[in-house]
Amino acid sequence: MNEEPIYFDFASTTPVNEEVYKAMSPYFLNYYGNASSSTHKQGEIASKAIEEARNQVSRLVNCKENEVFFTSGSTESIKLAMSQVFYNSLDTGTHIITSTAEHKAVLDTCKDLEKIGAQVTYLDVDENGKIDVDLLENSIGSDTILVALMHVNNETGVIADIRDIGAICKKKNVLFFTDATQSYGKLPLNFQEENIDLLCFNAHKIYGPKGIGGLLVNTTAKTKSGVIVKGLIESVNLGTQNVPGIVGLGKSSELAKSELHVNYDKIQKLNRYLTQELYQLELGTVNGFSASRSPYILNIQLANQDAESFILKHKNTVSVSMGSACNSRLMQQSHVLKSMGLSKEIADRSIRISFGATTTQAQLDTLIYTIKNGNN
């Protein structure tokens, strides 16, 4: 039997941790109650499990338990948060600020809102994928209602200065929403101290189940019209809650907190090793090299190979991508790399390597060998 290809696409999704799977299992088989059924024991058990998950999430990112709302994932959270803020701010403004390097879910939501009257400013990024925070501040006007900028870019790993961005938004009395899908459970996050009003995340990026995520909501945040943000999204809890998924999200969050620094240090060493080897062997260069980057993601310009051809030719050896999973079926030029000013020729030679808990140096050596002999 052929061995499975080595997986280097953890930014796309991760396997479910065995402890997470074990925590979820009883809620499929034994504790199957509806959390909204408060008249019997089964419903009470389910409800308590959800509250425990809220507690596990809150401990990871330093938020209040009543600021945690569960959704099907980041895409739902993004559409819900941005749309509700827009609809509840129509009497005070319609201006939203984002960047050209955001995730497709944010850009698509902005395009949809533009069709019904939103005015959207798309900030450019520099060659390292960073926005100019002074330009951001100058772009905020009296009709600005929301700034939506991701924490860690899902294609390049470039880290945004969310503390500075949050401080600007607070000073300007504008809500700040950040997509933390690639940083939740991987990098230190402090919801209360970083002036974030809305934050989305996913379980399946941190060894939890697919189809469950969350939206953090600052309970003290208000739109310019005075509407409390928490009240804008109470609709997220309508309907039957996915108790096993929520339990899995809670458990994966708990494990992420306990392993955060150990995993970070390990991944950082592996990232540095791969980067050094690529440069020394002249096999490729890193996009966004000069920026502060998450060690979990590395976007590489292959020296002399087309990315799509490399991926397809070696798919039985290594599993890598050209960027976001949302775009991978299309095999189209990355809008993120394009926004950084990279040519189509360079973008077409770029692959994304993302590291996980099971990644080893021996696996990276196989990847290096494969890149080195990619044209053979």
- What are residue 342's phi and psi, to 5 degrees? -80, 140
Binned at pLDDT 50, 70 and 90, residue 219 comes out as confident
pLDDT of residue 328: 47
Binned at pLDDT 50, 70 and 90, residue 238 comes out as low
Amino acid (1-letter code) at residue 170: K
Beta strands in the chain (DSSP E): 6-7, 68-71, 95-99, 119-123, 144-148, 175-179, 198-202, 213-217, 284-286, 297-302, 318-319, 350-354
Report the candidate in 316, 238, 313, 244 with the shortest Cα–Cα distance to residue 27. 244
pLDDT of residue 222: 80
297-302/119-123 β-pairing: unpaired
How does the average pLDDT of the chain come out, rounded? 93
Task: Identify whether 169 is a catalytic site residue.
Answer: no
| Residue that wins the pLDDT comparison between 231 and 213 | 213
pLDDT of residue 304: 86
Q: What is the pTM of this model?
A: 0.94
Binned at pLDDT 50, 70 and 90, residue 330 comes out as very low
| Residue that wins the pLDDT comparison between 232 and 220 | 220
Q: What digits encode the pLDDT tens for the residues 30-48?
A: 999 888 887 888 889 989 9
Question: Residue 326 pLDDT more than 60?
Answer: no
pLDDT of residue 150: 98
Q: What digits encode the pLDDT tens for the residues 48-98?
A: 999 999 999 999 999 999 999 999 999 999 999 999 999 989 999 999 999
Question: Residue 327 pLDDT more than 60?
Answer: no
Q: Which two tokens stand for residue 289?
A: 């090299």
In angstroms, the CA 270 to CA 289 distance is: 16
Mean pLDDT of 295-305: 96
Mean pLDDT of 322-345: 77
Question: Residue 240 pLDDT more than 80?
Answer: yes
Q: Report the share of the chain in percent with pLDDT over 90.
A: 84
Give the DSSP per-residue string, 257-310.
Answer: HHHHHHHHHHHHHHHHHHHHHHHHTTSEEETTTTS-B-TTEEEEEESS--HHHH
Beta strands in 67-143 (DSSP E): 68-71, 95-99, 119-123
Catalytic residue among 63, 169, 200, 326: 326
Q: What digits encode the pLDDT tens for the residues 2-27?
A: 589 999 999 999 999 999 999 999 99
Binned at pLDDT 50, 70 and 90, residue 220 comes out as confident
Question: Residue 325 pLDDT more than 60?
Answer: no
| Residue that wins the pLDDT comparison between 219 and 267 | 267
pLDDT of residue 125: 97
pLDDT of residue 374: 73
Write the burial class of residue 282 (CB in 10 Å: 0-12 exposed, 13-18 middle, 19+ buried): exposed
